[in-house]
Amino acid sequence: YIRYHGLLLPPVAHTMKSLEFAQNFAVQDSDVFAVTYPKSGTIWMQEILPLVLNGGDLTPIHTIPNWDRVPWLEESRLASVVDQLVSPRALVSHFPYNLMPPSFSTSKAKVIYVMRNPKDLVVSSYYFHQMAEFLEDPGTFDEFVDKFLEGRVLFGKWTDHMKSWMNAELGDRIMYITYEDMLQDLPAAVRRISNFLGRNHSEEVIQKIAEHCSFKAMKTNTMSNFSLVPKIYMDNDKSHFFRKGIAGDWKNHFNSEQLARFTSVIQKELEGESFSLPWNMD
C-alpha cells in the first residue's frame, strides 16, 4: 500500500504522481464530487451523478467505463481523461476533507457525501478484499474488524472520515445522504440530488434515472460492473463487486462479542461530536 498523510491507499491506481496531480487539481465552480469512505455506495453515486447532470441521457453510462466517465480525484486515470471531461464535471473521491485540494476550498464546487452503516460497510469491504487482488488478504472476519476499528485499512479510520466531512461546514455546498436512504426510496434520493444540483427534473426523468441505477441494472451494465477489469485485479470467482446490495447483512456476520466491541469503539470515538449517526448502532 501507499502511505499518504498517515493514510493507507491502494497501489496500482494511486501513485505519488496522481496524488500530487490531485493536490494541484484546478477545481471548477461547477464541479460535483461524490465523496465516500470506501464501500459506502461510491459506484452507485458515480452512476447517478452524470445522469442527473445530463438530464437522464443514458449514452455515457452505456459507452464509457465508470472510471473514465466520473474519474477519481486521487487516481492516475484522471490526468489522462481530464481534458475530455465536459462541464459540469462529476468526480469521485475517498479523500477525507483535509486532503481535498486547496482549489476546492476556494471554489463553489458541490459535494454529495454518501455514508453507510459501518457494520454493513465492513462486511462489504471484507468481501471486496477477497476479490480485489491488489488488496491484502483480509484474514478472518474477526481480524478484519480489528483492523477496521484501528484504522489499519484503506483511507484510515471510518470515524475520522465521518468527522472530517460532517464538520466540514460547507453550507449549501454539501449534501449528506445515506446508502440506506437510497435503498429505501431511490427515486426520492435522485429527486433530492437533482434539487441539490439545481436540476428540477420531471418525474419521468427521475424515474428513468432510478431505474437505470438499480442494483440489477448496474450489475449487468458492463460499463459499470467492473467486468472489464482483468481477473488479476478483480477475481469474480471469489466475490462480486455487486455482491448483495442490501442493508443489514452485518447480522449474518457479527457475533455478539464483535458487535459489542464495534459499537463501543465507534461510540467512544464519536463522543462529544455535534452530529449523531443516522443508524441505530446497537
Please give the Cα distance from 143 to 56 (Å, whole number). 43
Which of 5, 14, 62, 94 is catalytic? The answer is 94
Residue 87: count other Cβ atoms within 10 Å of its Cβ: 9
Output phi, psi for 91, to 5 deg.
Answer: -135, 160
C-alpha separations of 11 from 15, 25, 52, 76 in Å = 7, 20, 31, 11
Q: How far is the CB of 105 from ligand A3P (least distance, A)?
A: 24
The three-class DSSP label of residue 129 is helix
Q: For residues 80 and 184, which CB has a smaller minimum distance to ligand A3P in the complex?
A: 184
What's the min distance (Å) between Cβ of 127 and ligand A3P?
Answer: 6
Residues that bind ligand A3P in the complex, under the rule CB under 6 A = 36, 38-44, 124, 127, 183, 213-215, 218, 242-245, 249
Residue 173 vs 244, nearer CB to ligand A3P: 244
Single-letter amino acid code for the residue at 27 = V
Nearest approach in angstroms of CB 180 to ligand A3P is: 10
**Cβ partners under 8 Å of residue 15, min gap 6:** 2, 76
Give yes or no: 5 in active site: no
| Shorter beta-carbon distance to ligand A3P: residue 95 or 127 | 127
Q: Provide the minimum distance between the beta carbon of 139 and ligand A3P in the complex, in angstroms, as a whole number.
A: 18
Nearer to ligand A3P, 108 or 181 (CB): 181
Map grid coordinates 472530517 to a residue.
Answer: 164
Neighbours of 174 (CB within 10 A): 18
CA distance 17 to 279: 38
Please identify every residue annotated as catalytic.
94
